[in-house]
A and B are shown apart, each in its own frame.
Chain A
Amino acid sequence: MTLFLIAIAVGATLAGVVIHIAWWRLQRPVDDARALAFIVGLVPLAFSVTSTLVMSLPDRPPLLSLGYLLLLGALSMLHGLFALVYMSCYTAAQAASPTVLVVLLARNSGRGVSQAELADRLTDDLVCGDLVQAAVDEKFADLHGGRLHLGRRGRWLLVMGRTVRKLAGLSAPVG
């Protein structure tokens, strides 16, 4: 690993984010999560790996050696975490976080905002209903005959969430 390779990884991820903006501006994909994982995770990783092959890096370990595999593992981990961090920030922007909406509506209204006014402005579709459709589109839930069942990604989300809550000794979430 060299600092140059880390700089390439960061640069490739930033380039991925720029492409992501252009892509979303043209037409947002239905399965955001998969498209985003591809554009800010897999493509930058492929770029970084290609760089290790085509560039003459001074202390690059020989191909097919344990050192090179370690380098690929380290790069994969870095890009995986970059993608996870960006994707988690993205969901707040994508799904109209009610916390963000409440804070900004309270700031924008000079004399403050009441709970009733917030309920009037923030429809069920905006803060919850649209998210049910998004959960189906993103495979967190399956819709069969108008009825919802947990999807593959939804199950993973629950497994991870429940594990963390159990480890940390947390009670049931509030919402």
Chain B
Amino acid sequence: MTALVLVASLIIFLPAVALLHRLGQARVERRAKRTLPTQGIALEAVLLALLVMLLGLGWSWWQGNISAAWTVWAAMVVFGLGYCYWLLVCLTESGRRYMIAELIDRNPGLTPAEIVARYNRFQIIAARLERLEYWGTLMREGDRYRARPSLMLLASSLVRFWAWVLGFAWTQIFKKESSHS
């Protein structure tokens, strides 16, 4: 019986996250003022569903209905599922692979140069600057942007470090940056 409840909870976890996300999105749109970006609303939905799920798991373990190992396993699975949902939302919101796939699907037979002409650095940079300023990661002073200490800055530094560990050439751009300044 407990195993069935556990499996059922895992099956309904993602639909529950999607439902919470939809409700959050509708709430923000009703206010006619975006208080959170889509990624933030998705994260809110994931965290809320995770909280409910973890409380349920903790309660079941406390009551002796499931073992500690299955509790840890289920917690890891819901964390993974929640992260994957959030990431998929981020990917469809700003992922370049996704945008390229959308462009090719809508216009089969484009050349690589035509893709770059339709989806280029000017569009990408403008969209990112707007989003990062909205999130408070960047601060605008006239026509210049400065980074504020934030989680995004920490995450960006970690990504750069990991890219350096793996030997990706793009990290060299910051060496040029040092020599510029």
Total contacting residues, chain B, CB less than 8 A: 85
Partner of A119, one of B125, B155, B163, B168: B125
Residues A1 and B162 in contact in the complex (CB < 8 Å), given A114-B145, A154-B105: no
Structural contact, B115 and A128, CB atoms closer than 8 A: yes
Interface secondary structure of A, over-half rule: helix
Q: How many A-B Cβ pairs are below 8 Å?
A: 259
Residues A135 and B128 in contact in the complex (CB < 8 Å), given A82-B80, A146-B111: no
Total contacting residues, chain A, CB less than 8 A: 84
Does A106 reach chain B (CB closer than 8 Å)? yes
Determine the distance from Cα of A84 to Cα of B76 in the docked complex, in whole angstroms: 13
Residues A103 and B137 in contact in the complex (CB < 8 Å), given A88-B87, A95-B96, A168-B89: yes
Q: B173 to chain A: closest CB distance in Å?
A: 7
Structural contact, A169 and B25, CB atoms closer than 8 A: yes
Chain B residues lying within 8 Å of A121, measured Cβ to Cβ, are: 173, 177
Residues A100 and B104 in contact in the complex (CB < 8 Å), given A81-B84, A132-B116: no
Partner of A128, one of B80, B121, B137, B141: B121
Determine the distance from Cα of A83 to Cα of B132 in the docked complex, in whole angstroms: 29
Chain A residues lying within 8 Å of B88, measured Cβ to Cβ, are: 160-161, 164
Chain A residues lying within 8 Å of B76, measured Cβ to Cβ, are: 6, 78, 81
Chain A residues lying within 8 Å of B3, measured Cβ to Cβ, are: 70
Residues A108 and B178 in contact in the complex (CB < 8 Å), given A95-B96, A95-B97, A164-B85: yes
Structural contact, A25 and B144, CB atoms closer than 8 A: no
Determine the distance from Cα of A128 to Cα of B96 in the docked complex, in whole angstroms: 7
Structural contact, A129 and B159, CB atoms closer than 8 A: no
Chain A CB count within 10 A is highest, among B96, B126, B138, for: B96
Structural contact, A131 and B96, CB atoms closer than 8 A: yes
Chain B residues lying within 8 Å of A89, measured Cβ to Cβ, are: 162
Chain A residues lying within 8 Å of B83, measured Cβ to Cβ, are: 85, 88
8 more CB-based (< 8 A) A-B contacts, given A99-B132, A146-B112: A6-B69, A70-B3, A93-B166, A104-B157, A113-B145, A135-B100, A157-B101, A174-B131
Query: Which residues of A pack against B, CB within 8 Å?
Result: 1-3, 5-6, 21, 24-25, 28, 70, 74, 77-78, 81-82, 84-85, 88-115, 118-119, 121-124, 126-129, 131-135, 140-141, 143, 146-150, 154-155, 157-158, 160-162, 164-165, 167-170, 173-175
19 contacts between A and B (CB under 8 A): A25-B166, A81-B84, A82-B80, A85-B84, A90-B162, A100-B156, A102-B132, A103-B147, A107-B147, A119-B121, A128-B100, A141-B100, A149-B108, A150-B104, A157-B97, A167-B18, A170-B93, A174-B131, A175-B99
